[in-house]
Amino acid sequence: MKAKMNSRGTMRRFAILAGVAAILLFGSARPAAAQDWFKTGTGLGVSKVRVAVPELGVRAATAPALEKTFHDVLWNDLDYSGVLELVSPSFYPAKTPTQPSELNAADWANAPVNANMLAYGNLSAEGTNLAVAGFLSDVHNPTAPIALQKIYRGAATDADARRLAHQFADDIIGRLSGGLPGVSQTQIAFVSSRSGNKEVWVMDYDGGNQHQLTHLKSVALTPRWSPDATRIAFTCFVPYRGVVSPQICLYSTVSNHMIAFPRFRGTNSSPAWSPEGTQLAFMSSQNGDSEIYVCDADGSHLQRITFAAGVSTSPVWNPKTGKQIVFVSDRAGDPVLYLANSDGTNVQRLDMPDMGYVVDPSWSPNGQLLTFCWRRPSGNFDIYVMDIVSRQLVELTRDEGRNERPSWAPDGRHIVFESTRTGTRQIWSMLADGSRPRQLTYEGQNESPSWSSR
């Protein structure tokens, strides 16, 4: 836990953390083989697998720069996964294997390395082609079948060296985390102002390969990936009956074109996908008051589901069941979170232990946790996680600029968010316990991140 604790809140915070940890330890009904990372993340003393990742061998005419890129990306992916502990290269022996026949397991199993696993291999470039042989060995059981061996193929370019490294990393994480997927090949959609207008951009989850998707030269906001990662729904400012107004826009990342969607009177914003990707929920003021509507992904069968004075917005579906939504409403004063069935019935307020302004909810992939932004009466905007059943809370950021608009990663282990801690608004990611915050964007103002499922 990164957060500083003042003496006043310390006892209570420890109690909450212990409570959340206990809930997560005993509350999740998952087979023992698939370890829940979140338990590890709250510091319950479960030791992580120690992996050594030496530089790879360079065969034939491979440019050394490609190996460096591959190794840097691989190292970063494994290190940031949250489930592995990487052994510092300063402990590595002088002789590094580039294939299993060269492996001396004792070198890596014994002190000072004390590794459990070794990830290694070699790159060979032939003309414009690149092939990477990747291996993962259990150095305590070298005679057992090798954990992973695979050839990764692509172009002999920097971009492909990154791509192949991400693949190798995900394969390793998959093997060592008991089956929960890595996010090394996922992407983050976000809004950037760096082109002069707010447009939808996309980048790799580690901040690489940032590129512009939309060119509307207007204002684009609140992008959200569809569950199958083929479409992005967002808020766009476009004309409707002669008035430029907020509307729901859809972009296909398969065809790289906008997809048609109906426009409505008033203000229409904050689209969110159902878990099957067949429906959208969004805020619309087409009938006067700002309420939540649900429709099919093509805009048909529009149905209003909230009926209260004030603003109802930021709907998000439970990604596991699709049967509930959480949304933001100021019907009782300040905006706070409400839980309801996905048809709008059975609305319950999510009570918080303090006053303030609670916005921008995002569900964890297992449907058990919510992350959101809370501006308490003390004034700052910070990111919290709440267990939806027990309603217990953990604070993830504190005293470092304004931290807003969190979005959960598909592995349940990472959260991406906006932060102003450097003085400008940028996209940051962190582990879902608040540790390891990492800046992803640097140019222009960047906001509104959404993490793809794949």
Partner 1 sequence: MRCGMFRSSALRSTLFSLFVVLGIFATIGGCGGKKHTASTAPVSTPPAAAVQPTVTLNASPTTVNPGASVTLTWSSANATDLSIDPSIGKVATEGSTPVTPTESTTYMITANGPGGTATATARVTVTGGAAVAPPTSGTPAGISELFAQNVRDAFFDFNKADIRADAREALTKDAEFLRTYPTVHITIEGHCDERGSTEYNLGLGARRAQAAKNYLTSLGISADRIDTVSWGKERPFCQESTEECWQQNRRGHFVMAK
- Residues of this chain that interact with partner 1 (CB under 8 A) are 198, 219, 221-222, 235, 237, 241-246, 265-267, 269-270, 283, 285, 288-290, 310-314, 328, 330, 334-335, 357, 359-360, 373, 375, 381, 404-405, 447-448
What the block records as the tokens of 159 is 């971009």
Residue 379: C-alpha distances to residues 9, 382, 401, 403 (Å) = 16, 9, 11, 12
75 vs 190, beta carbon nearer partner 1:
190
What the block records as the tokens of 308 is 């209260």
Give the Cα separation of 409 and 452 in Å (integer): 7
Give the Cα separation of 74 and 163 in Å (integer): 10
Report in angstroms how near the CB of residue 269 gets to partner 1 at its nearest.
4
Report in angstroms how near the CB of residue 201 gets to partner 1 at its nearest.
15
138 vs 291, beta carbon nearer partner 1:
291
404 vs 433, beta carbon nearer partner 1:
404
Placement of tokens 């591959």 in the chain:
70
Report in angstroms how near the CB of residue 258 gets to partner 1 at its nearest.
20
1 vs 219, beta carbon nearer partner 1:
219
Residue 332: C-alpha distances to residues 26, 169, 338, 403, 405 (Å) = 35, 48, 11, 24, 22
Report in angstroms how near the CB of residue 316 gets to partner 1 at its nearest.
11
Full DSSP string of 36-86? -HHHHHTT--PPPEEEE-PPPEEEET--HHHHHHHHHHHHHHHHTTSSEEE
79 vs 289, beta carbon nearer partner 1:
289
What the block records as the tokens of 430 is 């962190």
* Residues contacting 68, CB < 8 A, separation 6+: none
8 vs 241, beta carbon nearer partner 1:
241
- Closest by alpha carbon to 161, among 62, 54, 61? 62
Report in angstroms how near the CB of residue 391 gets to partner 1 at its nearest.
21
φ and ψ at 17, to 5 degrees? -60, -45
360 vs 411, beta carbon nearer partner 1:
360
Give the Cα separation of 375 and 377 in Å (integer): 7
Report in angstroms how near the CB of residue 337 gets to partner 1 at its nearest.
11
Give the Cα separation of 206 and 137 in Å (integer): 26
Contacts by 23-32, CB closer than 8 A, 24 or more apart: 23/387, 23/389, 23/390, 23/392, 24/387, 27/368, 27/389, 27/390, 28/366, 28/368
- Closest by alpha carbon to 436, among 81, 125, 146, 114? 81
Report in angstroms how near the CB of residue 334 gets to partner 1 at its nearest.
7
152 vs 363, beta carbon nearer partner 1:
363
What stretch of H or E contains 174? helix 158-176
133 vs 328, beta carbon nearer partner 1:
328
Report in angstroms how near the CB of residue 205 gets to partner 1 at its nearest.
22
Report in angstroms how near the CB of residue 217 gets to partner 1 at its nearest.
14
Residue 29: C-alpha distances to residues 32, 121, 365, 387 (Å) = 9, 38, 15, 15
277 vs 310, beta carbon nearer partner 1:
310
User: Which DSSP letter does residue 89 get?
Assistant: G
Report in angstroms how near the CB of residue 123 gets to partner 1 at its nearest.
43
